[in-house]
Chain A
């Protein structure tokens, strides 16, 4: 069964790629010929999300919240404003809510209906976030999904899943790892992984920094 599935996937992926390549190019050509879009706008958008906006933004937010109690308080009271003060916001980040992970509560974010994700602080979502397995199972079996990521939480930790059904976007603030006392924001930000800000991971420990 598993073997068959893989076979199918390869098959579809391979044939779909060239098909979609052609169809996407066709649309782009039409839109440019008809004057709806300036080709430079397409290049600008691709470059922005490939190079400029990504999880390093979110990591800065988290690191600051670890060292600056006032910022942390503000972040949980008004995520949009606090995050905006670092220069992040806009598209898929107009209404940001920060969620605090603690030893007793672990937060996880999903969009069961499509693929809502806080682009402004995390960039574009990875494939797994948009996949049927993640979208179907996270609300019903979050511990099982965490196990797919190699994460096992204590049995009595409350797990809060946030299904992004509206235009609110969630940023999980992971727990600060032990042994990082006195670290700079820049160094702390290196511990903050993308997955730890979705809730499918935890921040790296100092040992994991190479």
Chain B
């Protein structure tokens, strides 16, 4: 979707301001927001792409005015509502309100530690051979889906070069809509900065993105 999350190339946000000796979390609640999101991820009620889609679907003004973990908490609220894990009344009250069904098995510390150690690989067996090879010129399609996609607006319509075949990976555009993992070949595609930003821009800049095969066409 063309939402506030798609920030590449936007102007007006000012300089990058690094913080000296930045703590991992800036407040106690941030750590809890982070951990809740990780743990509910382990519970497997939704997938990461669906979570990202919900987050970027927030009205742009809200997305842009929330802090980073504020965005996580807000998204978690919406996901819990959508997936029936809590009611609006419960979220307002800050407690479970009877009657409710208790989950059969809570996410445990051991499961979380295991998730941290093993992660969740995204590569899958390939259903077909890869269409493109390293060195091929490809054009990122001009597409504007209203659903979740990982093809940034700034790359659309531009020609780049395949520099790596990553493998066959879960396709976020489908997975985020709970339509299945629908794995596709994933490529690293390199663009010349001048193609992306115009003639006058820095000639020494190259930008690489990962692009799934359905994002690409032969120019």
Binding site for B on A (CB under 8 A): 5, 12-13, 16-17, 20-38, 40-46, 48-50, 53-54, 89-95, 112-115, 120, 123-124, 126-128, 130-143, 145, 148-149, 155-168, 195, 200
B:110-127 near A, CB below 8 Å = 111-113, 115-123
Contact A161 B205 (CB under 8 A): yes
What distance in Å separates the Cβ of A59 from its nearest Cβ neighbour in chain B?
Answer: 16
With both beta carbons as reference points, the residue of chain B lying nearest to A48 in the complex is identified as B116
A135 interface neighbour in B8, B104, B186, Cβ under 8 Å: B8
Binding site for A on B (CB under 8 A): 5-11, 13-19, 22, 24-29, 31-36, 38-40, 42-43, 52, 55-56, 64-70, 73-74, 76-77, 80, 85-86, 90-91, 93-96, 100-109, 111-113, 115-123, 150-152, 154, 166-167, 169-170, 172, 186, 188, 190, 193, 196-197, 201-202, 204-212
What distance in Å separates the Cβ of B7 from its nearest Cβ neighbour in chain A?
Answer: 4
Contact B76 A27 (CB under 8 A): yes
Q: A128-B16, A140-B196 are in contact. Are A91 and B119 (CB under 8 A)?
A: yes
Contact A133 B68 (CB under 8 A): no
Contact B113 A44 (CB under 8 A): yes
A128 to B67 CA separation, bound complex (whole angstroms): 12
A–B pairs, 17, beta carbons within 8 Å: A23-B73, A24-B73, A31-B39, A35-B102, A35-B104, A36-B103, A41-B108, A48-B116, A114-B5, A127-B19, A132-B64, A133-B17, A136-B10, A140-B9, A140-B196, A166-B186, A167-B169
A136 to B209 CA separation, bound complex (whole angstroms): 15
A30 to B65 CA separation, bound complex (whole angstroms): 26
State the majority secondary structure of interface residues on B: mixed
Q: A26-B91, A155-B204 are in contact. Are A113 and B6 (CB under 8 A)?
A: yes
A22 interface neighbour in B36, B40, B94, B172, Cβ under 8 Å: B94
A50 to B30 CA separation, bound complex (whole angstroms): 11
A33 to B98 CA separation, bound complex (whole angstroms): 11
